[in-house]
Structures are given as C-alpha cells and as structure tokens.
Amino acid sequence: MMPFAHHGTLAFMDALFTSTSAVCVTGLIVKDTPVDFTPLGQLIIMVLIQIGGLGYMTAVTFLAVMRRQKIGHRDRMILQESLNHPGVNGLVRFLKIVFTFILVIEIVGMLVLTLRFWADMPLFKAAWYGMFHAISAFNNAGFSLFSDNLMGYRGDLVINLTIPMLIILGGLGYLVLTELYHYQKKEIFRLSTHTKIVLWMSLFLILAGMALLLSLEWSNAFKAYSLGEKLLVAWFASVNYRTAGFNSIDLSTLSDANLFFSTFFMMTGGAPGGTAGGIKITAVALALIGVWYTLRGDTHMHIFKRSIPQYQVNKAYAIIFIATAYVAASTVFLSEIERLPFLRTLFETCSAFGTVGLSTGNGGVLSYSALFSDFGKFNIIVLMFMGRIGVFAFTLIIVGKAVQSRIKYSEGKVVL
C-alpha cells in the first residue's frame, strides 16, 4: 500500500487480496499487475510468490542453513510436515537439493523466456519479464506482466512449451523431483508408490483435460483457430486447469459444460509438497482406488504391487468431503450475497480453493473477484489461504487436534 508500490489509489482489501493471491500462489487479481503496480510493487508480488511457493518454514530454514545455524528437532519436525518428507533424517540435505532444483529450473526458464521476449522488447525489460514469468510459472502462481496474461502468445510454441513445463515441474512436488533425480543417477532402483501415483495421475489429468477441451470447444471457442493452435491452446489450458492461472484464451468464451467440468480439475490441484494447492492428486487417486476395491468387494487395496492402508483411503475421502463442503457453501453464499451467476461464481471459488488463478473475468482484464464486494473478496481470500495450507490443517485450526478414543463399542449394523 506504500505510494512507491502502486499507481493511483489502492484500497486495503485490494492490497490484502493481491498479497494473499501472491503468497498463496493463486493468481487471481483485482488490480491489473502491469498497470496498477510500479516495478517495485511487481517485485514485491514476485518475492511473495517465491516465498509462498517455497513455504515459510522452508525459506526460513534455508536462511538458517546458509548462516550455518543449527536446526533444532522441533524446527525439523515442522519442516518435515511442510515438505511432506517421510522423516527428519537427511532433511537438511534434502532441502539443499530442493533449492538447487529450484534455482536451476527457474534460471533455465528465465533464460528461455528472456530470449523469446527479447524479440518483442528491449533486453533489460525482456530479462525482467523472463524472470517474473519463470518464477510465477514454476511456483504455479499465474501472475503475468501482460494485461491480457499470455493471450498474445496463443500460437507461440516457445511460450506454450516453456510455461507449462515449469508449471508441471513445480506441481509435481519436491519429493518427486528429488526421487526422479536419484533414480536417474542409479542411486535408487525403484520409484516409490507416491511418485508413481503422482506421475501417472498428472499424465492422465493433462490428457483428460485436453480431450475435454477439444471435444467441447472444437466448434465453439476454438472454432476460429487452426489445428495447431487448437492443440496448443488445449494443452496450455489443461496444464493450467489444475495448478496455475495463466491463460492464452478468454475463458469467458468457454461453454458452460466446460466451465463446470473444469472445476473438478481445479479442485484436484497438484501433488503434495510442491507449489500447487487443492485437494491434491494423491488424495483423489486413493479415493478412486478405494471406490474401485469397494465395488469389487475386496478389502485389500493395492496399487503397483504395494498395499494401501485403509486409514489413508479414509483420510482421502474426508479431505474430498470437507473441501467440497467448503467450496459449495462459499459458492452458494457468494452467489446469493453478490447476486452473480452461479456457475461463474463456482468457477471462481474452485479456482481460489485450488490456488489455480483461472477466471472467467470481470468483463475486462481483471478476475471475476473484482466484481465482488469487500466481504466477497475476503471470502475468496479465506479460500485461497485454505487451499494453500491444506484442508486438514485449516480444519484442525478451527476444531482442534483429534483426541484418540480409548473406548471401543460393539459393532452396529447399518444398511446401505
């Protein structure tokens, strides 16, 4: 809100919304980033995106490691939870590998994007745009320094390959990236069940999203595009559906059916321990496995020749149920309070909860949230925060830690 960070006036709620959207790596905007914020304001947004993508504990611990400070057991436990690391042993080494990956991936992405933008603008500006978009893409934020996001590069092969690849790498999660690195170096000889689920589910969801977009929009929103543009737009949108908020087309032109089905992808999100939000693809995968084995009447669930504990499947059901309840309640509430169309409000709430950032727009360059009152914007802020820290963590803040019961009653029979 400092005068040097923005042009014109900036209301407190809009400043809070922007900073939350940045630190929760969402990308929903109620102010035009390149127009309403100065270069310093844009730098503040970029730093918040980087911190939000890393996670607060990860960033603080890395600074402590760089200063050669000793990391206590309590801090290691908190860091383990934030990174979804299987244990506290080797945590600092894992953190160093994570930061190396982040640095290398973002620098490579920045160089590629800088070279591409250099064809359209001076070198210094191209370097700034390249760095901002590389960090925004890897951290699955979706913030852009173009008022029309990336619609001007709809048919550009370099942009349509670089941005999605950065998004995918960030959305896979640090645990998967480090495991693939060790696997490639022959330091481990088998990928974990977690990594296999994340990779296969990511591939399936990207292809399913592309198929959905092409089938529903081939003669609708994509009608005027060439075959190559249709494939690029579908690929770009499918990747961004689950994790980031970049768009190469006007989403308000999509059919109602597409907007509805896209909410499932946005709610799913990315992998745990990465830069994406949402329910997480592992929770959806375990729920689908549980449904499959329940229908088969088999109580021993397994995948990739590994058994799946019933508790994990039950937790996946709980996460999906609670998340759906939060989003449904928020959508109905916002739709009634703001008096706006239900489907577009549902799209916006799912985008906020999944920290995706896609939006059907306010009729201009801003997100649909720009049409909301301050109360409606605050509701979206809560959803972004909830989606970033996780449904279980957010619910535990409200209801408190679960207490293990020491009493077991006799079994009761219930007809389903």
Residue 304: which of 192, 178, 179 has the closest Cα?
192
Residues pairing with 303 in the sheet:
306
The tens digit of pLDDT for each residue in 203-232 reads 999 999 999 999 999 888 888 888 888 999
Domain boundaries, the chain: 3-399
The tens digit of pLDDT for each residue in 139-152 reads 888 899 998 888 88
The tens digit of pLDDT for each residue in 62-77 reads 555 555 556 555 555 5
The tens digit of pLDDT for each residue in 68-116 reads 556 555 555 555 555 555 555 666 677 777 788 888 999 999 999 999 9
The tens digit of pLDDT for each residue in 257-281 reads 999 999 999 988 888 877 777 888 9
**pLDDT averaged over every residue in the chain:** 85
Residue 27 has pLDDT above 80, yes or no: yes
Distance CA 49, CA 138 (A): 10
Residue 405 has pLDDT above 80, yes or no: no
Mean pLDDT of the 36-53 span: 92
Residue 233 has pLDDT above 60, yes or no: yes
User: Which DSSP letter does residue 151 get?
Assistant: G
Query: Residue 70: its pLDDT value, please?
Result: 62
The tens digit of pLDDT for each residue in 306-323 reads 888 888 888 889 889 988
Q: Which residues of 11-43 are buried (b: 16+ CB within 10 A; e: fewer)?
A: eebbbbbbbbbbbbbbbbbbbebeebbeeebbe
For the chain, the farthest-separated pair of C-alpha atoms sits apart, in whole angstroms, at 75
Burial of 309 (0-12, 13-18, 19+ CB in 10 A): exposed
Helix (H, G, I), strand (E, B) or coil at 6: strand
Residue 222: which of 243, 186, 249 has the closest Cα?
249
User: Which DSSP letter does residue 100 get?
Assistant: H
Pair 280, 320: CB distance under 8 Å: no
